[in-house]
C-alpha cells in the first residue's frame, strides 16, 4: 500500500508560500490525519526569488521554472494549482489530469468559467479535482454542502464571500470613511489588491456563487448568467440611512430555489436587518448562511482570505485526496446531475423590498410628486425621510424603504422619475434581504 503522497505546487506567491510552510511545519499532524506521509516534492514558479525562499525552507525540494513540467513529473501525485488566471491555469490543470495527477486549486475564476469540462476530464482520467479554498477561504462551505448536508434539499445559501468588500463597507460604517478612503485603507491593510476591480465590482463573489450554485443545486451556470453588482456606488449617506432604519449594508451573494423551481442567483450590496447574524460579520470576515429543508439554518463564519486560512484550506484538500488514495476511494463527481435545463429567475422578476435614495430640488411639492409617481407604478412606501443637503445648493435627499415590489417595475419607475425635473442625480437603489 502506498504510504507516501507527493505534492507539487505550481505558483509560489503568498498562498503558495503559505502552503509550503503548512506542509513543512505541520507535517506530523498531516501525517496522522492523512494516514501517510505527505511530502512536498516539487515547486514551480517563474520568479527565482520565490524559489529561493522555498530553497531556504526545504533544500531537498525540486525547484522548477516550468509548471507544466512539474504537472507531468513521475514523483508528483497531487498538483496544486496556485498560478491564478484562467487560460494558462486551465491548460495546466488539463495537463495534470491527463497525466493522471489529482489536482487541488483555489482558482474560483477558472472553475466558475471552465469548471464543467475540467470536472468531466478529472472523472474520465480517474482523478480528483478539489477546490475548497476557492470559496470563502478557511470556511468549509464546500465540505458542508457536499458532505454534511448531502441528504438534504438545500433551499438557500446567503453569504458574505468577499472579504475586501466587507472590509470597505465596515470601514465606511464604523469610521465614517468615504468609499475611496476605505478602499485605500483596505489596500494598506493587505485586504485589497492593487487592482481591486474583481472585488469591488462583485466579480470575485460571482465566481464563488457560480460554484456554490453547482454544488447546492446542480446548476451549471456562468457568472454572466446572473445579476452581479458591486459596492462602488454605496455612499456614506446610504450607510447612515440604513443604520437609522435598523439595517446594515453588507455585500451579499444569494442562491435560492424558489417555489416555482427557478433559481434566484445574485450578487449585490444589500440592507440586512441588524438582527440578522450576517449584520454582525465585520471587517474582512466571511460568513455563509445555509437553509436546508430538514436541518433548517446553518451558519459558518471565519477568515475568507489570506495566506494562513487559504493555505490551510488547500492543505485540507490535499489530506482528503491522500486519504482517498490510500483507501482506493472512487473519484468524486462534484456537480449534482442536472435535471434538464436550469431555469434562472430574471433580475426584473425579483420580488423584494428596496431602499431608494433620491437627490431632488428642495422645493415645495417635490415630495408629493415623487410619492405619487411611485404610487402610480404600484410601489408602496413603507418609510420616507427627507433631509435638506448642506450648503446653498437648494437640494435635498429623500430616503425611502418600500414594501415588496417587482424589480422590473421599480426600475422602470425610477427611470421615469429620473427623466423628469424632480431629481438632480440618478436615483440609488439597494435591495433589502431578510
Residues 64-102: pLDDT tens digits? 999 999 999 999 999 999 999 999 999 999 999 999 999
pLDDT higher than threshold 70 for residue 339: no
- Per-residue model confidence (pLDDT) at position 393: 76
| Residue in 268, 148, 118 with CA at minimum distance from that of residue 205 | 268
In this structure, are residues 215 and 335 in contact, taking their beta carbons and an 8 Å threshold? yes
Beta-carbon count within 10 A of 276 CB:
17
> Domain 141-303, what fold?
Dihydrodipicolinate Reductase; domain 2 (3.30.360)
Q: Of the residues 108, 208, 274, 323, which is catalytic? A: 208
Phi, psi at 330, each rounded to 5°:
-65, 155
Residue with cell 484562467: 86
- Per-residue model confidence (pLDDT) at position 331: 74
pLDDT higher than threshold 80 for residue 390: no
| Per-residue confidence band for 340, with pLDDT thresholds at 50, 70 and 90 | low
- Per-residue model confidence (pLDDT) at position 24: 97
Q: Render 187-211 in DSSP notation, one character per residue.
A: HHTTSS-SS-HHHHTSHHHHHHHHH
**Mean pLDDT over the full length of the chain:** 93
| Residue in 64, 101, 54, 61 with CA at minimum distance from that of residue 80 | 101
Q: Tell me the C-alpha distance between 311 and 21, whole Å.
A: 9
Q: Tell me the C-alpha distance between 198 and 90, whole Å.
A: 19
Q: How many residues does the chain have?
A: 434
- Per-residue model confidence (pLDDT) at position 328: 84
Phi, psi at 358, each rounded to 5°:
-105, 135
pLDDT 10s digits, 13-35: 989 999 999 999 999 999 999 99
- Per-residue model confidence (pLDDT) at position 2: 62
- Per-residue model confidence (pLDDT) at position 277: 97
Q: Tell me the C-alpha distance between 158 and 168, whole Å.
A: 19
Q: Which letter does DSSP use for residue 336 in this model?
A: P
Phi and psi based region of residue 340 (left: phi greater than 0; alpha: psi -120 to 50; beta: remaining): left
pLDDT 10s digits, 127-168: 999 999 999 888 999 999 988 998 999 999 999 999 999 999
| Per-residue confidence band for 3, with pLDDT thresholds at 50, 70 and 90 | confident
The model's pTM is 0.93
pLDDT 10s digits, 308-338: 889 999 999 999 999 999 888 777 766 555 5
- Per-residue model confidence (pLDDT) at position 287: 97
| Helix ranges restricted to H, 74-222 | 87-98, 108-124, 141-143, 163-175, 179-188, 197-200, 203-217
> Domain 4-137+307-327, what fold?
Rossmann fold (3.40.50)
| Per-residue confidence band for 341, with pLDDT thresholds at 50, 70 and 90 | low
**Domain residues of the chain, as ranges?**
4-137+307-327, 141-303, 350-432
- Per-residue model confidence (pLDDT) at position 334: 62
Q: Which CATH architecture has domain 350-432?
A: 2-Layer Sandwich (3.30)
- For range 349-365, the mean pLDDT: 94
Q: Render 249-309 in DSSP notation, one character per residue.
A: EEEEEEEEE-TTS-EEEEEEEEEEETTSGGGG--TTEEEEEEEETTTEEEEEEEE-SSHHH
| Per-residue confidence band for 217, with pLDDT thresholds at 50, 70 and 90 | very high
pLDDT 10s digits, 5-15: 999 999 999 89
In this structure, are residues 109 and 86 in contact, taking their beta carbons and an 8 Å threshold? yes
pLDDT 10s digits, 263-291: 999 999 999 999 999 999 999 999 999 99
* 2 flagged as catalytic: no
Residue with cell 499532524: 29
- Per-residue model confidence (pLDDT) at position 108: 95
| Residue in 339, 296, 305 with CA at minimum distance from that of residue 196 | 305
Amino acid at each position: 500500500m502506498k504510504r507516501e503522497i507527493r505534492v507539487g505546487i505550481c505558483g509560489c506567491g503568498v498562498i503558495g508560500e503559505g502552503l509550503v510552510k503548512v506542509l513543512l511545519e505541520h507535517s506530523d499532524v498531516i501525517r496522522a490525519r492523512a494516514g501517510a506521509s505527505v511530502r512536498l516534492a516539487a515547486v514551480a514558479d517563474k520568479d527565482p526569488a520565490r524559489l529561493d525562499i522555498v530553497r531556504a525552507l526545504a533544500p531537498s525540494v525540486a525547484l522548477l521554472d516550468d509548471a507544466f513540467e512539474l504537472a507531468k513529473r513521475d514523483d508528483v501525485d497531487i498538483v496544486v494549482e496556485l498560478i491564478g488566471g484562467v487560460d494558462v491555469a486551465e491548460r495546466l490543470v488539463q495537463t495534470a489530469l491527463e497525466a493522471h495527477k489529482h489536482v487541488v486549486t483555489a482558482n474560483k475564476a477558472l472553475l466558475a468559467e471552465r469548471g464543467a469540462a475540467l470536472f468531466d476530464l478529472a472523472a474520465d482520467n480517474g482523478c480528483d479535482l478539489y477546490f475548497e479554498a476557492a470559496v470563502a477561504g478557511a470556511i468549509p462551505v464546500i465540505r458542508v454542502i457536499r458532505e454534511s448536508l448531502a441528504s438534504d434539499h438545500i433551499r438557500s445559501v446567503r453569504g458574505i464571500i468577499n472579504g475586501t468588500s466587507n472590509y470597505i463597507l465596515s470601514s465606511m460604517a464604523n469610521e465614517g470613511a468615504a468609499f475611496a478612503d476605505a478602499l485605500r485603507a483596505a489596500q494598506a491593510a493587505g485586504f485589497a489588491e492593487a487592482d481591486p476591480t474583481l472585488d469591488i465590482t462583485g466579480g470575485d463573489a460571482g465566481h464563488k456563487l457560480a460554484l456554490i450554485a453547482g454544488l447546492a443545486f446542480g446548476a451549471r451556470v456562468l457568472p454572466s448568467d446572473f445579476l452581479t453588482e458591486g459596492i462602488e456606488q454605496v455612499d456614506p449617506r446610504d450607510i447612515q440611512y440604513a443604520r437609522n432604519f435598523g439595517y446594515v449594508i453588507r455585500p451579499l451573494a444569494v442562491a435560492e430555489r424558489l417555489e416555482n423551481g427557478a433559481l434566484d442567483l445574485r450578487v449585490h450590496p444589500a440592507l440586512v436587518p441588524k438582527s440578522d447574524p450576517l449584520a454582525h460579520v465585520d471587517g474582512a470576515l466571511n460568513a455563509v448562511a445555509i437553509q436546508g429543508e430538514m436541518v433548517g439554518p446553518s451558519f459558518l463564519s471565519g477568515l475568507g482570505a489570506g495566506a494562513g486560512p487559504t493555505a490551510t484550506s488547500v492543505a485540507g484538500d490535499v489530506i482528503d485526496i491522500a486519504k482517498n488514495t490510500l483507501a482506493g476511494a472512487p473519484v468524486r463527481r462534484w456537480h449534482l446531475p442536472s435535471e434538464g435545463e436550469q431555469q434562472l429567475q430574471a433580475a426584473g422578476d425579483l420580488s423584494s423590498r428596496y431602499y431608494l435614495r433620491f437627490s431632488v430640488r428642495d422645493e415645495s411639492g417635490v415630495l408629493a410628486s415623487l410619492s405619487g409617481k411611485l404610487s402610480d407604478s404600484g410601489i408602496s412606501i413603507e418609510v420616507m425621510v427627507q433631509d435638506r443637503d448642506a450648503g446653498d445648493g437648494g437640494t435635498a435627499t429623500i430616503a425611502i424603504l418600500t414594501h415588496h415590489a417587482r424589480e422590473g417595475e421599480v426600475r422602470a419607475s425610477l427611470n421615469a422619475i429620473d427623466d423628469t425635473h424632480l431629481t438632480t442625480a440618478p436615483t440609488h437603489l439597494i435591495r433589502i434581504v431578510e
